[in-house]
Structure formats: structure tokens, C-alpha cells
Structure 1
Amino acid sequence: MKNQNLKEMTRYAVMIALTTVMTMVVHIPTPGTKGYLNLGDMVVFLAAVMFGKKGGFIVGGLGSGLADVLLGYTHYAPITFIVKGLEGFIAGSLLETNLGEKAQIIPMALGGVWMAFGYYIAEIFMYGAKAALASMPGNIVQGLFGAVVATALSMALKKTGIFDIH
């Protein structure tokens, strides 16, 4: 039991670190909302595929929130923890359904749409409706791009048998 918990925690830690790195490697500032676009969503979705809703939430929230802190976007870190955590949770929950088994990209795309909507709601209070609305297209593209890449990567990883992916 202890070895299983250690193995699970190690996998989570690796995916949290990978999410942080992928978020930080390419981050494109969005002046209107003082946020940024990034590549971390694909790792959040991979975590949802690999670990389910619990892992999707943990990896999405902690990995993305840590990137905010390290990049100096500390004002976003609590929001990111919730928004990206729920992005992973939503994708992981829907991946466990018949829909997720038939068309893996749809649960991930819905997680990405949630992410854009979650930031939109938070940014209305932070910057006003116009600035929040201006960030929506970029966030939607980021979420959908992450879903497409994560779908392709998870299919490739399943074929290798390296990971125990659902």
C-alpha cells in the first residue's frame, strides 16, 4: 500500500512539474487582462487521461498555479488553481463516461471551454467585461489546442504501453 501511494505521488509530482514547465516555456502575455497564453493545458488533459478526475484536478491546479507564481502572475494563482483544477476534473470526469471512451477529444475540449469561461468570469471582476471578453478567443484556442495535442499524445502513449492509461 505504501509503495502504491509513493508511486502515485511520484507520478503526480512529475506531471505537476511538467505542467509548470510547459506553462512557462511558451507564455504569450495578453495585455488586456495581464494574463498569458501557454501550452500547459495539454499536460493537464494528459493527467486527466492517466489519473482521472482527481489527478486532473491536482495536476491542473497545482502545476498551473505554480507556474503563475514562478512567472510573477501571483494575482492569478488562486484563480488558476480553481479554473485549471476544474478543467482537469471536468475532463477526467467526462473521460470516464461512454462519450469519453468513444471520443476522447470531446471531454478535453469541454474542459478547455470551461477554462476559457472560468477565466472570463474571474476577469470580469478584475478588469471589466470588455477586457475579459477580449481574452476569450485566445483562451479557447489554447484549450482546444491542448485537447488536440493531448488526444494525439495519449493515443501514442497507449500504444507504447509505457503508462497505464485508461
Structure 2
Amino acid sequence: MKNQSLKKMTRYSVMIALTTVMTMVIHIPTPATKGYLNLGDMVVFLAAIMFGRKGGFVVGGLGSGLADVLLGYTHYAPITFIVKGLEGFIAGSLLGTKLGEKAQIIPLALGGVWMAFGYYIAEIFMYGAKAALASIPGNIVQGLFGAVVASVLSMALKKTGMFDVN
């Protein structure tokens, strides 16, 4: 039992670090909202696929929030923790349904749409409705891109037998 907990913590930690790195490697600033676009969603979705809703939340919230802090977007870190955490939670929850078993991409895409909506709501209070609206297209593209890449990558990893998370 103790070994299983250590294994789980290690896997979560690696995915949190990978989320942080993928968020930081390519980040494209969005001047209207003082935020940025990135590749971290792909890893958040992989965590949701591998670990379910709890892992999706932990990896999404902590990994993405840490990237905000390290990149100097500290004003976004609490919002990111909630929005990206819920992105992973939503995707992980829906992956366990019949819909998720049939078409993995749909729960991931819905998680990405939530992410765009979650930032939109927060940014209304931060910058006003017009600036918040300007961030929606980029965030939707970022979320959907992450969903597609994570879905394809997870299928490839499952074929190698290296995707066992037990």
C-alpha cells in the first residue's frame, strides 16, 4: 500500500512538472488580457486519461498554476489553479462515461471549452467584457489542440504498452 502511494505521488509529480514545462516552453502573450497561450493543456488531458478526474484536477491546477508563477503571471495563478484543475476534472469525469469510452476526444474537447469559458468569466472581472471576449478564440484553439494531441498521443502510448497507470 505504501509503495502504491509513493508510485502515485511520483507519477503525479512527473506530470505536474511536464505540465509546467510544456506551458512554459511555448507561451504566446495575449496583450488584451495580459495572459498567454500555451501547450500545457495537452499534458493536463493526458493526466485526465491516465489518472481520471482527481489526477486531472491535481496535475492541471498545480502544473499550470506553477507555470504562471514562474513566468511572472502571478495574478493568474489562483484563477489558473481553478480553471485548469476543473479542465482536467471535467475531462477525467467524462472519460469514465459511455461517451468517453466511445469517443475520447469529446470529453477532452469539452474540458478545453470549459477552460476558455472559465478564463472568460474571470477576465470579465479583471479586464472587462470586451478584452475577455478577445481571449476566447485563442483559448478554444489551445484547448482543442491539446485535446487532439493528447488523444492521438494516448492511443500511440497505449499501443506500446507503456501507458499502464496501475
Query: Under a length normalisation based on structure 2, what TM-score does the superposition of the two structures give?
Result: 0.99
2:13 aligned partner: 13
- Runs of 4+, deviation exceeding 4 Å: none
What's the CA shift string for 1:102-143, capped at 9, x where partnerless?
000000000000000000000000000000000000000000
SS in 1 for 2:37: strand
1:87 aligned partner: 87
CA distance in 2, matches of 1:83, 1:162: 29
CA shift for structure 1 position 164: 1.3
1:113 aligned partner: 113
CA shift for structure 1 position 163: 1.9
User: Size of the alignment, in residue pairs?
Assistant: 166
CA shift for structure 1 position 165: 5.4
CA shift for structure 1 position 87: 0.0
1:42 aligned partner: 42
CA shift for structure 1 position 151: 0.3
2:149 aligned partner: 149
Query: Under a length normalisation based on structure 1, what TM-score does the superposition of the two structures give?
Result: 0.99
2:33 aligned partner: 33
CA distance in 2, matches of 1:163, 1:23: 22
Q: Which runs of 5+ in 2 are unaligned?
A: none
1:65 aligned partner: 65
CA distance in 2, matches of 1:37, 1:137: 11
Q: Which runs of 5+ in 1 are unaligned?
A: none
Task: State the identity as a percent.
Answer: 90
CA distance in 1, matches of 2:19, 2:156: 19
SS in 1 for 2:32: coil
CA distance in 1, matches of 2:116, 2:90: 13
